[in-house]
Amino acid sequence: MAMIFILLPLAVLTAGVFLALFIWAVRTGQFDDLETPPVRILNDDADRPLPTGDVETRETIVVSTRDC
Amino acid sequence: MSHADRLPAPAAPAAPAAAMSAACAHCGLDVPASEQRTHATQQFCCRGCAQVYQLLHDWGFDGYYRLLERQGGRGVPAKVSGRKYAELDDPALLKIHAEPCGHDRLRLRLYLEGVHCAACVWLVEELPRAVDGLASVRLNLATHVAEVEWAPSAISLSRIAHALDTIGYTPHLAQDDRLEAARRHNDRALLIKAGVAFAAAMNIMFIHLALYAGELNDISPEFARFFRLMSLGLSLPVMLFSAQPFFRTAWAGLRQRVPHIDLPVALALLGAFGYSAYATLLGHGPVYFDSLAGLVALLLGARYLQQRAQRLALERTSVLRHVAFAEFARRLDAEGLATEVAVTSLIPGDKVEVRSGELLPGDGIVLHGNSQLDQAVLTGEATPLPVGPGDWVVAGATNLGARLVVQIRAVGPNSRVGGLLRLVDEAMRGRAPMVQFTDRISKAFVWGVLGLATALGVGVLLGSGGDVGLALQQVVALLVVTCPCALGLATPVTFTSALARAARAGIFLKNPESLELTRQVDTLLLDKTGTLTEGKLRLVATQGMPKALDLALALEAESAHPIALAFRRAQRTPLGSVHRLEAIREHPGQGIEGLVDGVHVAVGNEALLRTVGVAPTAAHQGQAEIWSAQGLSPLFIAVAGQVVAQAALGDPLRTDAKAALKALTNAGLTLHIVSGDHPAVVARVARELGLTSDHAHGGMTPEAKRTFVADLKAARTQLPHTGKLMMVGDGVNDAAALALADVGVAMQGGSGASVAAADVVLTRPGLMPLVELWRGSHRVMNVIHRNLAFSLIYNLAGAGLTIAGLVGPILAAALMPLSSLTVILSSVLGRTFQTSAAASRTSGGRSWP
């Protein structure tokens, strides 16, 4: 039973490591937006076609002076 | 409009060609008959949609439509302004708003208008594939703010903004950055405190479980001592770090002699920790480390949730705020070339160009051009104001017609709008801070607990013959048991769930106190233009030959004039045949004429009839006068030199206005209409809504509206038992009244000033959300009262047991989570606001934001 004198501090130490990870996650803003990430994961569905890449199409941005 | 016909067919569902009703290939809305093209694979409701569709296809972003379909999302019509955003390249502006991140990288936050679903996130974040130099875009779906990172050496910010604009998201600089950064920082700090408290509480609870079990099984003293010391060590970060907010507010409350709800919490924490630490070091006596850590963790968790819900609501409304203000101006140089500059860099004397649909950037005098201005947000007048050279125009008005050249005379605070905003600021500063409901309760609570604790301590001392240890133990047990955990949880948890539900129902509450005030509202002041009505011109009455109306429609189909837009909105059926249009001439401020299939057609007001040389009959003139008296704008339709039909343009009531007002009247509210429009128009609207004429106040300037609210408030302080005053509006002219009223509600699509001044912002069209707000406030307060009753019962029971000497640490540890759980369940399950699915069925008015 004397093991408990080592195991308990060890357990608390492990908890401390996870707590430190949590604090790091909060500080880097990973909890700032809880709405977009769950949606973002769905967007992998958009069978990504290869980027067209050709410069010509990019230059043909149609600009209208009227909106709807 | 041609490229609809030559588009290839990407993955989007092909619309049935030239059917009676077709869905827009981009946004899925019905395509108006006038926009339907025969033999086209795709139909589009407007130019914006067609343009965006083409562009997304060219860029290989067809996945957007697949996502939209798969996720069951609904598109919104694309708005493409076609602006160059040159003002964003101003180095001074970049210095303020952009922050450097790494080598040759800048980061900046843009609010995107038009974001509506998950597919938007994909589209916006995929943009770097098509735009070289744009490193990354991260879009927040809750706030519609995108964080853009780019390489300034490769691409300018204006080109990025232009690219966003061309795919249908109008970018605006996200303002109030510093305030938001501070709020975000607070949020993170509180979350860390709560996290530390939760981690410590969980571990302490496990250790205490061993202690409680050990008490039954004769734990050996060295283990008991070790466990207690571990608990003490683990509760140190809770007391020294996590519990700081409680001590700070309790102390601040004491200094202002206002007993805050945190005072009994702080007392319980100090008492429990002090006694437990003393007992631990002494080696005997009960310890309460588990209760105190759990208390801190639960309260901080609830507070974090409330703060977060509130921050989201504030961020949403603060980004809505600047959309309605002019952000740029087209300044003309000596040669007459226009450059886009930020409004802030305009000085009096500058010449600016204002195109159709744009906002005037400052007060000034028209130099060239004839047009009509929509000043509804400034004056409340629904009818457009015709302007020409020499006329004085004001900032914030929308140019509805042709291009105007304006010489600026006053900008910013010196302009009319600036003056109105000053009024709003004054009213906002003059607001008394609201005493929260829980603070009032906590006053009685603090005195009750302190009195009980003293009485108990003295009683035990006398009863036990001076056993200080026992007396202290009993008093600490009482403080722990009566600690207002449930009381402290009840309000934040209820408000958090209510704020979230309200947001889903299209109601953004900037502060939870406005719910408490809304419940007490007995008088409702409503603006007319844009609030009771849609604030848009529509064809409300027609008379005469239907064939003539068809010809008028055909003529108006090609015009961007406000009257033409009203005609097109009214159009229900597709044109029978394609008309040949020739020799179209628009007469600014009068109307339009031209040849339709070779026949001369003119649509316009009386002045136009004079211009084209047609005389109306007495009957036609009589009808026009009747319409004018009702506040409508009469139009004549002349075919081949004779007036054959008439139409009236007006700003009709919202479809749900009658139902909403009826519900509010039935609930016992007194309604007043306060409008800047002509008294005759206001009286007509009041009659239509079943209000008596003494409740209709027309011709009110913004200052008069403010005074009206102030007088009404002053008169009510004289009377006993009166409720609160609510003002509902959408314009800059309502903003001061909104800020001054007990509760100000800004309508969906309202001006930036009204959004800034209001306590509640509606993001769903129509007036039904207002009814929902009123009903919701009652339900929320009911839930809060129910929770308070629960927690008081627990506290009283706990206090009774303690005084009877029955409460030890185990019972205290069990009672607290039990009471908290009851309250949390009661809050979360409480029906407060109808969520969007139910609300959208009942909402009316405009169909999209």
Residue from the list B48, B118, B188 with its beta carbon closest to the beta carbon of A26: B188
- Residue B699: its pLDDT value, please? 86
Contact status of A46 with chain B (Cβ, < 8 Å) = yes
Residue at A15 is within a domain: yes
Cα atoms in the Cβ-side hemisphere of radius 13 Å centred on B817: 13
Q: Closest chain A residue to B401 measured between Cα atoms?
A: A66
B507-534+654-763: CATH superfamily? HAD superfamily/HAD-like (3.40.50.1000)
Per-residue pLDDT for B238 more than 90?
A: yes
Residue at A47 is within a domain: no
Residue, of B176 and B108, whose pLDDT is higher: B108
Residue at A58 is within a domain: no
Distances (CA, A) of B628 to B27, B365, B383, B634, B655: 38, 29, 11, 7, 23
- Mean pLDDT comparison of B27-31, B196-200, B588-592, highest-scoring range: B196-200
Contact status of A54 with chain B (Cβ, < 8 Å) = no
- B173-187, B224-238, B317-331, B345-359: lowest mean pLDDT where? B317-331
- B309-323, B482-496, B504-518: lowest mean pLDDT where? B309-323
Cα–Cα distance measured from residue B290 to residue B292, given in angstroms and rounded to the nearest whole number: 6
What is the band of B247 on the pLDDT scale with cuts at 50, 70, 90?
very high
Cα–Cα distance measured from residue B532 to residue B671, given in angstroms and rounded to the nearest whole number: 12
ipTM score over 0.95, yes or no: no
Contacts of A35 in chain B (CB under 8 A): 140-142
Residue from the list B58, B80, B163 with its beta carbon closest to the beta carbon of A64: B80
pLDDT digit string (tens) for B734-761?
888 998 898 999 988 777 778 888 889 8
**Total count of domains within chain A:** 1
What is the band of B137 on the pLDDT scale with cuts at 50, 70, 90?
very high
Cα–Cα distance measured from residue B540 to residue B395, given in angstroms and rounded to the nearest whole number: 29
**Domain spans of chain B, in order of start:** 86-175, 183-315+438-495+808-829, 507-534+654-763, 538-650
CB B686 within 8 A of CB B692: yes
- pLDDT above 90: percentage of residues in chain B: 17
> Best interface-test mutation with B: which of A32, A41, A44, A56 has the largest number of B CBs within 10 A?
A32
- Residue B485: its pLDDT value, please? 74
Residue from the list A15, A40, A66 with its beta carbon closest to the beta carbon of B121: A40
Tokens of B394: 């004001």
Topology (CATH level 3) of domain B538-650? Calcium-transporting ATPase, cytoplasmic domain N (3.40.1110)
| Mean pLDDT, residues B329-358 taken together | 85
What is the band of B580 on the pLDDT scale with cuts at 50, 70, 90?
confident
What is the band of B202 on the pLDDT scale with cuts at 50, 70, 90?
very high
Contacts of A4 in chain B (CB under 8 A): 223, 226
- Residue B578: its pLDDT value, please? 59
Contact assignment for A32 to B184 by CB distance below 8 Å: yes
Residue at A65 is within a domain: no
Per-residue pLDDT for B1 more than 90?
A: no
- Residue A9: its pLDDT value, please? 93
**Where does B86-175 sit in CATH, by number?**
3.30.70.100
Q: How far is B169 from chain A (nearest CA, A)?
A: 13
CB B300 within 8 A of CB B197: yes
pLDDT digit string (tens) for B653-698?
888 899 999 999 998 899 999 988 888 888 888 988 888 888 899 8
Cα–Cα distance measured from residue B517 to residue B733, given in angstroms and rounded to the nearest whole number: 23
Residue, of B532 and B45, whose pLDDT is higher: B532
Contact assignment for A31 to B191 by CB distance below 8 Å: yes
Residue at A14 is within a domain: yes
* Helix (H) and strand (E) counts in chain A: 3, 0
Tokens of B476: 């600490």
Residue at A20 is within a domain: yes
Contact status of A56 with chain B (Cβ, < 8 Å) = no
Residue at A62 is within a domain: no
Q: Which domain holds residue A13?
A: 1-31
- Write out residues 3-22 of A within 8 Å (CB-CB) of B: 4-5, 8-9, 11-12, 15-16, 18-19, 22
Phi-psi region of B85 (alpha: psi -120 to 50; beta: other; left: phi over 0): left
Contacts of A15 in chain B (CB under 8 A): 199, 202-203
Residue at A5 is within a domain: yes
Contact assignment for A5 to B122 by CB distance below 8 Å: no
Calculate the average pLDDT of chain B: 82
- Residue B367: its pLDDT value, please? 92
Phi-psi region of B618 (alpha: psi -120 to 50; beta: other; left: phi over 0): alpha
Is the sign of the CA dihedral B410, B413, B414, B417 positive or negative? positive
Contact assignment for B121 to A1 by CB distance below 8 Å: no
Residue from the list A18, A45, A61 with its beta carbon closest to the beta carbon of B55: A61
**Number of other CB atoms surrounding residue B704 within 10 Å:** 15
User: How many degrees, rounded to 5, is the angle at CA B285 between CA B282 and CA B289?
Assistant: 95
